[in-house]
Amino acid sequence: MKKNNKKHRFLLLTMLPFLFFISCENEKVLDNQTSGSIKILIDETYKPVMEQQIKIFTSRYPDAKILAEYKPEAECIKTFLEDSTRVVFVTRDLTDEEKAYGESKKFITKSMPMARDAVAFITSKENSNPVFKIADLRKILLGDSTQKKYQIVFDNQSSSTVRYITDSILYGKKIAGDVFATKTSEEVIDYVSKNKNAIGVLGVSWVADNSDSTTETFLSKINVAGIWGDTDSSLDYIKPYQAYIGLKEYPCTRNLYFISKETWTGLGTGLVNYLCKDGQLVFKQAKMFPLRVNVLLREANVH
């Protein structure tokens, strides 16, 4: 394994103002950008960082009441298309078919990526320095591996991590290895911590190294694996550190999107504006890579 211990990339952020407005079209307005109540849907893999974002937003605007429901991504999008939920936060934009369905239901959506995160692979503490090649993970997921027997554990069978693995690592092939799904990311962490041959798959914000006490507890129970990508440019096993996520040097990155069908500048718009401006620093603290700011990456020699 090649090592590069001398250079580390650091992030410098410069805030860019960002506003997201949708005009009112003869709709009865029950809230505005800083007050009222709203239900939103959030991909469960982003629960740690989004709980922090909502806590800050509602402390800043005490008249704002946000009911956040954390569900697997497939359930979030299905519910968003079928009920009155105005804003959803997931890892992909709507498909053309989903947008057409929305138009048939008389609503138009707007969307944008707000931050980039990663799909992380975790093992128990018994694996002191876990590393995997994407090619080997692919064989494990397809049941073709002749190496050590591993069990892959997902957070939910309908989660965005399952979709990411199927689309981006298996290229549409069906998962066929020793794989099962729990119900939440917490359960993945708990199971992996007790089983040395298990590999957990979850969003990086659950295991980001930050000041959140819950995340620190999780990190005390598991190790985060380094991943070697498929391309010829791969020079090392890369862990999902922030700069590597931003530069896509870590091979398993994805974006966090908002999708809104709000037809006036209501509380959903206010929350999105916050996330795309001041909330970018919270994404940064959660070791995600902010996309709505200017980011400068600098390399520094470490002696």
Give, for all 303 residues of the chain, the pLDDT tens digit: 444 444 555 555 555 544 444 444 444 568 999 999 999 999 999 999 999 999 999 999 999 999 999 999 999 999 999 999 999 999 999 999 999 999 999 999 999 999 999 999 999 999 988 999 999 999 999 988 877 789 999 999 999 999 999 999 999 999 987 899 999 999 999 999 999 999 999 999 888 755 555 556 677 889 999 999 887 655 689 999 888 999 999 999 999 999 999 999 999 999 999 999 999 999 998 889 999 987 655 554 544
pLDDT reported for residue 302: 40
- Residue 121: name the closest of 170, 71, 180, 189 by CA: 189
| Predicted pLDDT at 28 | 58
Q: What is the pLDDT of residue 4?
A: 46
Q: Do 249 and 23 contact (CB within 8 A), yes or no?
A: no
Q: Where do the domains of the chain lie?
A: 8-116+255-294, 118-253
Phi first, then psi, for residue 113 (nearest 5°) are -75, 140
Q: What is the pLDDT of residue 146?
A: 77
Q: Look at residue 230 in the predicted model and tell me its pLDDT.
A: 83
CA-nearest of 278, 284, 276, 294 to 21 is 276
Beta strands in the chain (DSSP E): 7-15, 36-43, 64-71, 87-90, 110-124, 131-133, 151-154, 179-181, 198-203, 222-224, 226-228, 253-260, 289-290, 293-301
Check: CATH 3.40.190.10 for 8-116+255-294? yes
Per-residue model confidence (pLDDT) at position 267: 97
What the block records as the tokens of 105 is 């239901």
Does the domain formed by 118-253 have CATH 3.40.190.10? Answer: yes
Cα(193)–Cα(221) distance, rounded to whole angstroms? 6
pLDDT of residue 295: 60
Q: Which residue has the tokens 């209501």?
A: 266
